[in-house]
């Protein structure tokens, strides 16, 4: 479909004017995710990001039934230190083929948009099989006092000049402020908000790889916890973890001959808020840039929320996940607190029973903080039918990515084979 037609379709969702959707080309059905790989996830482990990345990449390539010399492209995140470089790949695998390299990959919003970049690279003949990988060692760094996720924010000039001096920092403080506003506007209370961390923890309790696998959480124990930054408790905030994950993207027509059921990229969206990058100045603080990403992805995939079987939402904070579930369109703005009650996000409440299973691996709150790349890996497992917390008859899945002032949406579909 022409980009202008996508724009017209996306606009039918009547998106507000405080942000914009980037005009991504239609890449529906061109790319498949054909291999996935993960390292163990953990607290401080002393593991090096590049070593972890290589472990995940090797696993993903093997899972796709490929050899390292078959890989023609490598995508990683910019701005996160010690990500994998082409020379690391070649040294480790003893390979020498040309590697198309992009820093518009990795996790967060790029866990969705990298599929679009990969499709364009494949069209242009730059690469056939492309690996996307993300690794992080923030748990080790925090333990060693050598860095935290707040550092990047603190390096922003205006944040340093006008926000840090007041103590409006780090991330839990500003998302707590936004959660407070949301509670005021829409009447959400802590008992309702608890549905997110409690459900994600139940998923993690059933998932042997999750960092919080052995840590149960009840509503009473959640409510008894003191606020960290009121109204958020520690259970409303993401973990800090070490680990890596990767996947292989291949041309869809080749995926049918590869080992696993085909998982096709059906829709991609990328939204951006005005006033970026300072979210203190974001015109609306009770919604997320997912508002501008989702309509484009749904238009490209020619689907809507009623057809989505399982979602994975960037849950840096419980309240941010709640807002994104609304902004994707699963319920109306302000109704999210009510919508997520009655186990609606639990994996055993499939769509036909009125649920929308969410973060079935435990999410950033209870699986690990790999910044969203594990979310997409989990959706691939769901569509293959191999997830630990498998949702019944999963055909279409959606990921909501987030980086404060930008959001992204990825729609994946199980192929016919």
Partner 1 sequence: MISPDLSDPLTGPFWQGAQAGELRVSWCAACDRAVWYPRARCDVCDGRLHWQTLSGAASLVAWSEVSGPLNPDFDTPYLTGLVSPREAPYIRLVTRLVDCCAADLRCDMAVTVRFRALQPRRGAAFIAPVFTPA
> Which residues would be at the binding site for partner 1 (CB under 8 A)?
158, 161-170, 172-173, 176-178, 180-181, 184-185, 226-232, 234, 278, 280-281, 283, 285
User: Least distance to partner 1 from the beta carbon of 281, Å?
Assistant: 6
Q: Is the dihedral of CA 47, 53, 58, 59 positive or negative?
A: positive
- For 69, the token pair is 């010399």
User: Least distance to partner 1 from the beta carbon of 138, Å?
Assistant: 15
User: Least distance to partner 1 from the beta carbon of 318, Å?
Assistant: 14
Nearer to partner 1, 93 or 168 (CB): 168
User: Least distance to partner 1 from the beta carbon of 147, Å?
Assistant: 13
User: Least distance to partner 1 from the beta carbon of 177, Å?
Assistant: 5
Answer for the pair 110, 65: CB distance below 8 angstroms, yes or no: no
Nearer to partner 1, 172 or 363 (CB): 172
User: Least distance to partner 1 from the beta carbon of 172, Å?
Assistant: 6
Measured CA to CA in angstroms, residue 325 lies from 32, 320, 345, 387 at distances of: 25, 9, 10, 21
User: Least distance to partner 1 from the beta carbon of 161, Å?
Assistant: 4
Nearer to partner 1, 279 or 379 (CB): 279
- For 138, the token pair is 């923030």
User: Least distance to partner 1 from the beta carbon of 201, Å?
Assistant: 19
Nearer to partner 1, 231 or 357 (CB): 231
Q: Which H or E run includes 10? A: helix 3-11
Which 8-state DSSP code applies to residue 99?
-
Q: How many CB atoms lie within 10 A of CB 235?
A: 22
Nearer to partner 1, 174 or 247 (CB): 174
From the list 259, 283, 263, the residue with the least C-alpha distance to 273 is 283
Q: How far, in Å, CA of 226 to CA of 248, rounded?
A: 43
Backbone angles phi, psi at 101, to 5 degrees: -125, 135
Nearer to partner 1, 17 or 87 (CB): 17
Contacts of 165 by beta carbon, 8 Å cutoff, 6+ apart: none
User: Least distance to partner 1 from the beta carbon of 99, Å?
Assistant: 40
Contacts of 233 by beta carbon, 8 Å cutoff, 6+ apart: 222, 225, 226, 227
Nearer to partner 1, 173 or 305 (CB): 173
Nearer to partner 1, 221 or 386 (CB): 221
Contacts of 154 by beta carbon, 8 Å cutoff, 6+ apart: 160, 164, 169, 170
Q: How far, in Å, CA of 398 to CA of 109, rounded?
A: 13
CB crowding 29-62: b at 16 or more within 10 Å, else e: bbbbbbbbbbbebbebbebebbbbbbbbbebbbe
Nearer to partner 1, 149 or 251 (CB): 149
């Amino acid at each position: 479909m022409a980009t202008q037609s996508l724009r017209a379709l996306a606009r039918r969702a009547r998106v507000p004017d405080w942000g914009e959707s980037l005009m991504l080309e239609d890449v529906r059905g061109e790319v498949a995710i054909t291999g996935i790989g993960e390292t163990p996830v953990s607290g401080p482990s002393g593991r090096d990001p590049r070593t972890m990345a290589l472990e995940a990449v090797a696993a993903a390539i093997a899972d796709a039934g490929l050899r390292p010399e078959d890989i023609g492209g490598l995508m990683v995140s910019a701005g996160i230190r010690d990500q994998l470089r082409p020379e690391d790949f070649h040294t480790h695998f003893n390979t020498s083929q040309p590697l198309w390299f992009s820093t518009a990959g990795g996790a967060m919003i790029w866990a969705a948009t990298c599929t679009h970049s990969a499709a364009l690279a494949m069209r242009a003949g730059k690469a056939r099989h492309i690996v996307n990988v993300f690794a992080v060692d923030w748990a080790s760094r925090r333990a060693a006092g050598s860095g935290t996720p707040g550092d990047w924010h603190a390096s922003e000039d205006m944040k340093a000049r006008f926000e840090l001096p007041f103590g409006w920092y780090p991330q839990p403080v500003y998302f707590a402020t936004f959660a407070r506003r949301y509670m005021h506007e829409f009447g959400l209370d802590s008992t309702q908000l608890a549905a997110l961390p409690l459900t994600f923890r139940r998923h993690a309790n059933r998932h042997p790889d999750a960092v919080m696998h052995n840590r149960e959480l009840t509503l009473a124990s959640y409510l008894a916890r003191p606020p960290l930054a009121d109204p958020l408790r520690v259970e409303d905030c993401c973990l800090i973890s070490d680990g890596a994950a990767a996947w292989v993207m291949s041309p869809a027509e080749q995926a049918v001959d590869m080992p696993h059921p085909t998982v096709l990229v059906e829709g991609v969206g990328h939204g951006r808020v005005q006033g970026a990058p300072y979210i203190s100045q974001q015109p609306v603080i009770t919604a997320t840039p997912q508002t501008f990403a989702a309509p484009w992805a749904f238009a490209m995939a020619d689907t809507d929320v009623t057809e989505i079987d399982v979602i994975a939402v960037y849950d840096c904070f419980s309240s941010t996940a709640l807002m994104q579930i609304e902004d994707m369109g699963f319920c109306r703005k302000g109704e999210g607190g009510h919508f997520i009650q009655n186990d609606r996000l639990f994996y055993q409440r499939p769509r036909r029973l009125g649920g929308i299973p969410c973060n079935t691996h435990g999410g950033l709150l209870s699986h690990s903080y790999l910044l969203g790349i594990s979310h997409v890996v989990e959706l691939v497992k769901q569509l293959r039918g191999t997830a630990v917390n498998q949702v019944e008859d999963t055909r279409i899945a959606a990921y909501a990515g987030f980086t404060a002032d930008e959001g992204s949406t990825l729609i994946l579909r199980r192929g016919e084979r």
